[in-house]
Amino acid sequence: MILAVTGGTGFLGGHVLRIAAERGHDVRALARRAQLPRPNVEWLGGTLEDHRKLAELCKGADAVIHIAGAINAPNLAGFVAANVTGTASLLTAAEASGTKRFIHVSSLSAREPDLSDYGWSKASSEAMVVQSPLDWTIVRPPAIYGAGDREMLELFRIARAKGVLPLPPRGRLSLIEAGDLAGLLLDLIEARESFEQTYEPDDGTEEGYSHRAFGKLVGAAVGRPGVLALPVPGFALRLAATAERFRLGDKAKLTPDRVRYFCHPDWVVTKRPPTAIWEAKVKAGEGLKATADWYREQGWL
């Protein structure tokens, strides 16, 4: 098949491009900047704001996989521009090109749109998809990890160096390895029973992992099985976010918006894809260890 992919330069997108090539698909991928060659990938320079490039991206494609979006922004307007307006523009391009199949990567945060600007923007992007005439499927991943991930890298570094891992207040979360998630996105393309469905995939662990259990898994992955998972009160995280915003401005990664998201006690999936379509292959213990090994190989850890 010919696949149109946004977000191919990112962490999850890289896994999608790799597995798509392994399966023999041809990929047309949008990128802001020049990229190194990849097997079966045609890079197309452009952004979600460039309507002509979006039309070129979608023309003749069998399916669109929309991964691009902002997970951090200085304000609501930044999230809207990337996650809502960008999605609407891509939907328009897909419809105009005659490409019917649309796989939309959202976030579990869309379940709680009043909790954070990020979650609101993801819920709004889903509303745009649902209102479209395309054959859509929405995928809401929980926490994603794996080779190439920089979002969780600091947790691995702290666990290895300190033996203590600061985490949000007590709660539970689901996890999914990036290669597993990429495989799902590709499996969905021809799964007609997934049309007009919203799924929340994970590694298959019922009721997910407590924050403490997750911390122990990270510790074991970096060779510190006795790591102390330390819940940090919400007020302390808010103070840290304020300090980081003061120090780094719009480049701050820990923001009040993200703190509200992190402190929610229940990020466990409830709507897994049917096993007839897809089943996870990688449990968190195995996957986090492989991720730590990859970090070491790259000199990141």
Give the contacts of 117 (CB within 8 A, at least 6 positions apart).
73, 75, 76, 79, 257
Distance CA 196, CA 194 (A): 6
Give the contacts of 48 (CB within 8 A, at least 6 positions apart).
6, 30, 54, 68, 82, 85, 86, 87, 89, 90
pLDDT of 230: 87
- pLDDT reading at 253 higher than 80: no
Using DSSP's 3-state secondary structure scheme, residue 88 falls into helix
Q: Which tokens go with 166?
A: 């600061």
The band of 72, judged by pLDDT with boundaries at 50, 70 and 90, is confident
pLDDT of 232: 86
- pLDDT reading at 37 higher than 90: yes
- pLDDT reading at 287 higher than 90: yes
Predicted model pTM: 0.95
The band of 15, judged by pLDDT with boundaries at 50, 70 and 90, is very high
The band of 257, judged by pLDDT with boundaries at 50, 70 and 90, is confident
Residue among 179, 147, 200 at smallest CA distance from 16:
179
The band of 293, judged by pLDDT with boundaries at 50, 70 and 90, is very high
**58 within 8 A of 30, measured Cβ to Cβ:** no
- pLDDT reading at 290 higher than 80: yes
**86 within 8 A of 48, measured Cβ to Cβ:** yes
| pLDDT per position as a tens digit, 260-278 | 888 899 999 999 999 999 9
Provide the CA 232 distance to its chain's centre, in angstroms.
Answer: 24
Per DSSP, the residues of 171-231 read -EE-EEEHHHHHHHHHHGGG-GGGTTEEE---SS-TT-EEHHHHHHHHHHHTT-TT-EEEE
Please state the rounded mean pLDDT for residues 174-184: 98
pLDDT of 178: 98
Which residue do the tokens 């799902």 mark?
184
In the chain, DSSP finds a helix count (H) and a strand count (E) of 11, 14
pLDDT of 286: 97
Using DSSP's 3-state secondary structure scheme, residue 279 falls into coil
For residue 37, the 8-state DSSP code is: -
Please state the rounded mean pLDDT for residues 32-61: 95
Which sign, positive or negative, has the C-alpha torsion 174, 214, 238, 10? negative
| pLDDT per position as a tens digit, 56-68 | 999 999 999 999 9
**246 within 8 A of 239, measured Cβ to Cβ:** no
- pLDDT reading at 250 higher than 90: no
The band of 226, judged by pLDDT with boundaries at 50, 70 and 90, is confident
| pLDDT per position as a tens digit, 184-212 | 999 999 999 999 999 999 999 999 999 99
The band of 249, judged by pLDDT with boundaries at 50, 70 and 90, is confident
Q: What are phi and psi of 144, to 5 degrees?
A: -105, 140
Which sign, positive or negative, has the C-alpha torsion 176, 40, 9, 108? negative
Using DSSP's 3-state secondary structure scheme, residue 140 falls into coil
For residue 264, the 8-state DSSP code is: -
According to CATH, what is the number of the domain 2-149+174-205+268-282?
A: 3.40.50.720
